[in-house]
Amino acid sequence: MHRREPDYGNAKYWCRRVGSHPVHDQLAPLAAPVLTQAGVSGFSAAKWDALRFVDLCEQVAHENSPANRAAREVQWLEMNLHLAHCARGR
């Protein structure tokens, strides 16, 4: 949520506190092609980099660009994965 406020510093604080999360393993292979297709490089389908993603969101926040739309799509994927994770009870 802090990425969306936008409060990027706080978003990165919580990313560091959480560290690796099971949802990241699911998100990486879904997000990488979305970002690559939008011309965003540096994201791996094997390992999610939450801090890099916060940086990307901050960089494209005020653009009407393919990268902005891809970042929003990835955030949608991420939120759905988190909700499904919570619904499963971990």
Q: What is the pLDDT of residues 16-74, one digit of tens each?
A: 999 999 999 999 999 999 999 999 999 999 999 999 999 999 999 999 999 999 999 99
- What is the model's pLDDT at position 82? 94
- Token pair for 28: 């990486």
Tell me the pLDDT band of 5, cut-offs 50, 70 and 90: confident
- What is the model's pLDDT at position 90? 58
Q: 54 near 12, Cβ under 8 Å?
A: yes
Here the contacts of 3-10 (C-beta below 8 Å, separation 24 or greater) are: 3/54, 3/57, 3/58, 3/75, 4/75, 6/57, 6/58, 6/61, 8/54, 8/55, 8/57, 8/58
